[in-house]
Amino acid sequence: MIKEICVIGQPSLVGGADTELQDQCIVWNKMGLKIYFLPTQTLTKFQEGLIQKLNGKSLQRRQWNECKDFHCISYCNGEFLQNLAHIKKYARTTTFVNCMTWNFPKEVEGQSKGLIDFHLYQTDHQLTMVSKNLKHLGNYRPIRFTPYFETSNYPYYFNRPNDHFRYGRISRDDPGKFNVEQLKVYNEFKSPVLKSGVILGWGKRVETKFVGQKIPDDLQLIKAGGVSAQNFYKFCDVMCSKNDTFENLPRIAFESMSSGCVLVVDKRGGWILSVEDGKTGFLCSSTQEFVEKMSFLAHNPDKKEEMRRLARESLLLNWGLEEAMLSWENIFNEWEKLRQ
């Protein structure tokens, strides 16, 4: 098995791809790999500390020759795609992890020129959607893998108060992340106790989607980064997110499950892989169903407690270290076979 790996990019605690990368580095550490980071931007002091924490070593920023003879991997990094021709001259293999359900133009171009050796996908539906524009181009080598989620960053909050029914949602300031009837759900669901809500990730772009709609009196609107994600989940009993986007494998699902925040989400995309409907959360097909499930949880606190406990157990079972290590072992074997 390989002993070293080179990441084109840098880990972070902000942004889905960078945070996913950080968690996978934990797996590689457990597997005994030496991790090298070839940054595509100037590292912050925090990122430098994070690399040290991950037992990694920083190479010189954007000096592509520094990845010579390494198996190179990159998580949704635009600079990696932009500079593939240079990276490919030196790398032992190149692997791109697309975290979306659509293609980047440079990803398609890189595949057409034979610059990407492997593509990694977290879900079957993502592979199906993203591969449409790639599979007819050269030697296309897709691999499905099970990512790891580090639960210690999102502690489970016991003994939540029941004086209010606390709900909310978290995302970036992106109108596509919001369905236009999200506020309608919050306005219409019923609770036998006072309601308290938070949207973390509200901004000018999102606001334009809800012009003329009533914002519930009990709902706080906080810009992205206004409070920590951990404090959001500590507050929130139920994460009710009605989206327009077709999600791949939403990281906020794992964060919610780890923290003990029950998911009420769309019945499509990656949510279906995270939630066992009626057991670890609710999957909804319509606005009315969102309203009904939120009302049900507000009126049944014992069921809410059971769901959040079972969701945490499901997360540990299905997205833990053992499953991830098996996935990465398979990937590393494929890398080595290509260069034998």
Do 242 and 167 touch, CB atoms closer than 8 A? no
Complete DSSP assignment for 161-217: --SEEEEEEE--S-GGGS-TTHHHHHHH---SSEEEEEEET--HHHHGGGTTPPPPT
Distance CA 62, CA 51 (A): 17
How many other CB atoms sit within 10 Å of the CB of residue 229?
Answer: 20
Do 225 and 199 touch, CB atoms closer than 8 A? no
Bridge partners (DSSP) listed for residue 222: 200
Do 79 and 63 touch, CB atoms closer than 8 A? no
pLDDT for the residue 13 = 62
Residue type, 94: T
Do 69 and 89 touch, CB atoms closer than 8 A? no
For the chain, which residues score pLDDT lower than 50? Answer: none
Task: List CB contacts of 288: < 8 A, sequence separation 6 or more.
Answer: none
pLDDT for the residue 271 = 94
pLDDT for the residue 260 = 96
Do 34 and 71 touch, CB atoms closer than 8 A? no
Task: List CB contacts of 260: < 8 A, sequence separation 6 or more.
Answer: 156, 157, 158, 160, 233, 308, 309, 311, 312
How many other CB atoms sit within 10 Å of the CB of residue 192?
Answer: 10
pLDDT for the residue 15 = 55
> b/e for 26-43, b at 16 or more Cβ within 10 A?
bbbeebebebbbbbbeeb
pLDDT for the residue 225 = 85
pLDDT for the residue 248 = 81
pLDDT for the residue 214 = 95
Complete DSSP assignment for 215-237: PPTTEEEE-TTSS-HHHHHHH-S
pLDDT for the residue 14 = 55
Query: Domains (ranges, CATH) in the chain?
Result: 4-148+320-338 (3.40.50.2000), 152-318 (3.40.50.2000)
pLDDT for the residue 118 = 98
Bridge partners (DSSP) listed for residue 240: 264
Do 284 and 265 touch, CB atoms closer than 8 A? yes
Place of tokens 């059971």: 306
